[in-house]
Chains A and B, each alone.
Chain A
Amino acid sequence: MALSNVLELPASGFNFENSARNAVLEDVLGDGKTKTPKPMKTGTTIAGVVYKDGVVLGADTRATSSEVVADKMCAKIHYIAPNIYCCGAGTAADTEKTTDLLSSNLTIFSMNSSRNPRVIMAVSILQDMLFRYHGQIGAFLILGGVDFTGSHLYSVGPYGSVNEVPYLAMGSGDHAAMGILEDGFKPRLELDEAKTLVCSAIHAGIMSDLGSGSNVDLCVITRQGVDYIRPYQESEFKDQRQGRYKYKPGTTPILRENVEPVEVEVMQETVQKMDTA
């Protein structure tokens, strides 16, 4: 039994304690009938297009946990750097953490070198990390950004494979979205054409794929800056709330109030000097 004031550093590598616990629970609880909940996957449609002045990224906003919609307005376009954003499909936790880690590393680089990171740096860091973990991190990512070498769009797979392409769709709705992109893409599109194209592509995914739904988010990245439009297009199937679920303070009347102080004795006092030089 460890003392509570000893710092326990976590062991390196993946921690599979919960997997062992889940296996025991399944045995004990159900005779094989109870299944532990599956990790939340984003069951997604994400897409990206390089246009005349930059990159347009798009995503739906549904997060599913098996057959239940866990989040109707989840944000799948993640901030990486002021000039780089990343759409994530696959396991929600993995895409979230991976993009966070990448963003932190690139911020440190920016501080050290006083410049905005290049898109190829983000790609290389991701590729290196995902290859090292041999596909255990379920992150299917679309990285888009603009730096002084131009506008770039990359796909990064969970095993660490990278492809640079002018247009791209990923996620469970990628087949539907890709159809729209293959039909409508031309080199050097105008901004409005590009936004309409990406929105239609995501919309196709939302309509044809059960794992995608709700609204369409767009993110436009140019040399001048970023326009994060959330939502760009709202779902036409939004429900109307029938009542108000918030209660005003004072709704429940207070009948009686009784204050009792709790007696506490100081048993042990330790002072640890901290070196703040």
Chain B
Amino acid sequence: PPHWSPGTTIMAVEFDGGVVMGADSRTTTGAYIANRVTDKLTPIHERIFCCRSGSAADTQAIADSVTYQLGFHSIELDEPPQVQTAANLFKEMCYRYREELMAGIIVAGWDKRRGGQVYTVPVGGMMTRQPVSVGGSGSTYIYGYVDSNYRTGMSREECLQFTAKALSLAMERDGSSGGVVRLAVISEQGVDRQVILGNQLPRFSAA
């Protein structure tokens, strides 16, 4: 069915003290760009965000449901929830309803027990922790770049540069990704959101 789907590029990276998350901003219905300034980085809790790819309707509904469940759980616990809990809630929903849903989600955030964490919940409902994770239709073009350029122990600034460059490369090659780059840095201090407009994106010489 021709429903709205973000053909997307999403990414998240762990660093010591937090995570950097990034996404493009294009939502397509077939060949038409229905929204060129989409925000695919969705807050789930104060220091936990998710990157959404797949069907817009499905991922919005799942994110809303998990936000509710996590908020309730956090109130019962009387302390901020763990990122692993959020990831598990996503996994439960995505796996149970795997036949009906089309959702690829990256959950990332900071909690005081394990610091910055990135968990990926791809289509099908598997869940695993990764230091770097990419997703969406544009991710296939940047596995090589990510695998060769990622190093452990990168700083916050280096992670931001790394994410911005990776997303730009993917947006250059993938027709279903584009627009602006939205970034979010989550740490103990809180969340810092940025936008890199089209003309400010890093450029790579290719003739």
Contact = CB atoms under 8 A, between A and B. Distances in A.
Interface of A: 127, 130-131, 135, 155, 157-163, 165, 175
Contacts of B35: 155, 163, 165
A135 B5 CA distance: 13
B60 interface: yes
Interface of B: 1, 3-4, 27, 32, 34-35, 37-38, 55-58, 60-61
Contact of A160 (B32, B37, B57): B57
Contacts of A162: 60
> What are the 3 closest A-B residue pairs judged by CB atoms, nearest first?
A159-B57, A161-B56, A161-B57
A155 B4 CA distance: 12
Contact of A163 (B3, B34, B55, B61): B34
Contact of B4 (A131, A161, A175): A161
B104 to A, nearest CB: 16
Given A127-B60, A131-B61, A161 B3 contact: yes
Contacts of A131: 57, 61
Nearest to B37: A165
B65 to A, nearest CB: 10
B4 A159 contact: yes
Given A127-B61, A157-B57, A159-B58, 16 more contacts: A130-B57, A131-B61, A155-B35, A157-B3, A157-B4, A158-B3, A159-B1, A159-B55, A159-B57, A160-B60, A161-B4, A161-B27, A161-B56, A162-B60, A163-B27, A175-B32
Contacts of A135: 1, 3, 57
Contacts of B27: 161, 163
Given A135-B1, A135-B3, A175-B32, A160 B61 contact: yes
Contacts of B58: 159
13 contacts: A131-B61, A135-B1, A135-B3, A157-B34, A158-B3, A159-B3, A159-B56, A160-B60, A160-B61, A161-B4, A161-B55, A161-B56, A165-B37
